Every structure is written in structure tokens, then in C-alpha cells.
Structure 1
Amino acid sequence: MTKKIALIADVHGNIEALKNVLKDISERQIDNRDIYCLGDLVGYGPRPDEVIQLIIEKNIHSVLGNYDEAVGFYLPTCGCSIESENDRMKTKNSLSWTVENTSDENKEFLRELEEQISLEIEGYQLLLTHGSPISINDYIYENDLEKQEEIVEVLEEDILVFGHTHYPYYKKVNNKLFINPGSVGRPKDGDNRACYCIVEFGEKIDVEFIRISYDIEKVAKEIEQSELLDVFAQVLRTGRDVK
């Protein structure tokens, strides 16, 4: 007997991508109760309210992302990695626009999200968070072995599930499994399709990454017709972060 769950992350206000991903998950006969979201429902994309409402409607478990926190609590910054004045300009534009276009009711929902979820599946202990067990703003990249080893030292669970980087991967480090499902709404790995993953628990753990097509141009044009910066549309088209 095996158990399957679906992991999604970093939707970032992209309702078209989310709808297609959830449709694919449903067609694979995975129940909504077995879908887990690793945060960042909002930011950069044109439909924050619709994304939140769909997550609520489908009763999908979600943790708090750094962008969710910034919008829900009216923080001055999302805590993203800012390396230049251009990055600051992009962050300010996206955050202020998203705050203005997210309802008070949905901001309250974001404020109620937990930073971490612990659960047990088929004898395995999982910790779900947005960035890392240390901080929701912490980036864990696939090749950052030093950071992964530091986390293993404090991680009590068998599996760490997280998002934030928008790069999908899974990796075993000292008998602990790291899983990042990639980004539904804003991939950065060069493949502009929505990304999520399915984890199957049996005698061993199987992780499968799924790429889903959606109407990228529709979302990109909606961004360009809003007061969001056009560069956010280019990220969707290219599947890469545009500097």
C-alpha cells in the first residue's frame, strides 16, 4: 500500500497556472486533502485574491511564505534577496501593488497561516516550511551542501519540504531528504511551465516533478496592463529571473 501527496509552492498570484496544476493533480486522483502548499501565494502576479480564494475553496494546507507575511502584516519589505537598486524598485512595486489588490479578508487569511507544518506519512516524519527551518526567508539551493549539512544537524524530521528558491530538486543529505517542488506561478529554471511534484511513500520514497502548460501570454499581458512592472511578465515568458 502506497500513499501519494502533491506538493506545490510559489504560486505568486498566477491563477491560470494554479488552476491547471490543480486540474492535473485531480486527474491523477490525488485528493485536495493530500495537497500541501509551501507558501508565497501572492506577489508579482496579477491575481492574488483569486489564488487565495481557490486555496481556501479547495481547503489546501499551506504554510506562510515570506511574501504572504509581508502582504498580510503590511511589512515594508518581503525579505527577498535584494542585491541592487533595481531589485529594490521591483520589490517595492510588487509589494505595494499586491497589498493594494489583496482584500482585507484575504490578508487576514495570510496572517493566520503557520510558518511550519509537521506531519507523519507512512512512518516518515515531514517538516513543511517556506524557506528553511531557520527562517521563511532562507534560501536552500541544491548545491549548497554546507547549508544543508547545517540544517541536518537541527532537523528532527526525516524529510524537509520547502520552496522559496523556485528551483525544483530533491536530494538526500546524511539520511535526510530535501524536497523543493519548484514554482507553480513563477519558475526560474528556464522552463516556463508550471512546476509541482508528487511524492509517493511505499517501501521507498519516489519523487516525480511534473511540468504543466498554461496560458502564459494571458497572464503576462494582464501584468503589462496593470501597474505591475513589465519585467514580471518577462519572467513568466522566459522562465528565468530577469535582472
Structure 2
Amino acid sequence: MKRILAVADTHLREWKLPEKLLEMLDNADIVVHAGDFESYEVYKKFSEYNLYAVAGNSDDEAVREELENELTFEVEGLRFGLVHRGNFINQFHDLGYKAMELDVDVLVFGHLHRFVLEEIRGKLLICPGSPTQPRMSVASCAEIVVNRSKVDVRYHVVQPLFCGMDVYEKLEGCR
């Protein structure tokens, strides 16, 4: 069994991750980052883990020089693909085609800043969301447990942020 932590769109200039995400990083066998670290410093910190990563559209030049735009790898007999973004013009069908083009079972992608789990043409598509800059969602990541070619995807809220607002702070005025 392998535990994969999937993240994307951290958009950080320095290493300031939510405590829950740091704990999850320490417990993961593999970390995948679907782009937009933003800074090389943050990318290098993620590199201290067993990292598979691609460049995003907001990454520093140094990150883009070091990382590819797409990547494939295998875990427990399943083929994984990693990209930052698709065209999103028709409900993720372009990413389904990208998964077929890469010949992968699971495609992890970013750019949306919100969690997505879809199956298209037998391909599992996962966007873990953003743990630090969510859009129209809460701050999140995805845990992918692979056991003998079986996949279990778990959605995790990592801090009380909704669209960049501190949820607890906003709730104080509602009581």
C-alpha cells in the first residue's frame, strides 16, 4: 500500500504551509505537486519529500527550467500522469483525452484551486485544490491510497480558508 499526497497551486514565496498539510507531508510515501509552487524556495522544500512535480503557469523561471509540463510514473501497478492544467472547455473531457494520450489510469492536475474528482472514459481525474489559495472552495489537498491497483481518494480540508478568507474570523460576526 502506498499513500500519495496530492497538492497544487500553493502560490507561496516562502515555506508557510498549514500545520495539517505539514503533518500529511510527513506521513506520505509519495508527494505529487501539480504546479504553481510559485517560488524556487518552496519547490526545493517540497523536494525534500519523495516528490513528483510539474511546472505551473505562475512558477518562477528557475522552477520552470527544472520541471517538465507533464510527467508519468507508476505506483503499485497503476500509471499516474501529472499536469498543471487543461483547457477546461468541456467539463474536463480534454483532461480525459490527456490521460488517454499519456496512457495513464489516474491524472492529477491543478490550476483550478478547488477539489475535483471525475471519471472520464475509465480515467480518474483528480484536482486536489489549493491548500493556501482556494477559489470557490475551502483550502484542500487529496490523499490517494493505492493498494494492489485499487485507488481510494480522500479529500482533506487543511485550514479554515474559503476563497482566501479566514472562515473562523468571518463566523465571529455571525454569532
Fold shared per TM-score above 0.5: yes
Q: Which digits, 9 at most, give the CA deviation of each residue in 1:133-158, with x for residues without a partner?
A: xxxxx347xx7154355446534211
Structure 1, unpaired ranges of 5+ = 43-47, 73-106, 133-137, 217-233
Alignment of 1:1-243 (within 5 A): 2-13=1-12, 15-17=15-17, 20-26=20-26, 29-31=27-29, 34-42=30-38, 48=39, 50-58=41-49, 60-68=51-59, 71-72=60-61, 107=62, 109-132=63-86, 138-139=87-88, 144=91, 146-148=93-95, 150-151=97-98, 154-191=101-138, 194-202=139-147, 204-213=150-159, 235-237=163-165
- CA 1:146–1:212: 2 relative to 1, 3 Å: closer
Give the drift of 1:16.
Answer: 2.3
173-182 vs 15-24, greater mean Cα deviation: 15-24
SS in 1 for 2:114: coil
TM-superposed CA distance for 1:53, in Å, is 3.7
* Partner Cα distance (1:38, 1:164) in 2: 8
Equivalent pair of 2:131/2:159 in contact (CA under 8 Å): no
Cα deviation for residue 55 of structure 1 reads 2.0
CA separation of 1:150/1:63 partners in 2, compared to 1, >3 Å: closer, same or farther? Answer: closer
Query: In 1, distance between residues paired with 2:50 and 2:93?
Result: 36
Task: Point out the structure with the larger strand share.
Answer: 2
Structure 2 segments unaligned to the other structure (5+ residues): 168-175
Change (3 A) 1:18 1:41: farther
Identity score, percent? 28
Distance 1:114 1:24, change over 3 A: same
Name the structure 1 match of 2:171.
none
* Pair member with larger Rg: 1
Measure the CA separation in 2 of the matches of 1:124 and 1:153.
14
Residues 119 and 144 of structure 1: CA distance in aligned 2, closer, same or farther (over 3 Å):
same
Alignment: residue pair count: 165
**Which has a greater percent of helix?**
1
Query: Distance in 2 between the 1:157 and 1:124 partners?
Result: 8
**Distance (Å, rounded) in 2 between the aligned partners of 1:129 and 1:206:** 20
- From the superposition, tell whether residues 18 and 49 of structure 1 become closer, same or farther in structure 2 (CA, over 3 Å): farther
Offset, 1:129 = 1.0
TM-score of the aligned structures, taking structure 2 as reference length: 0.78
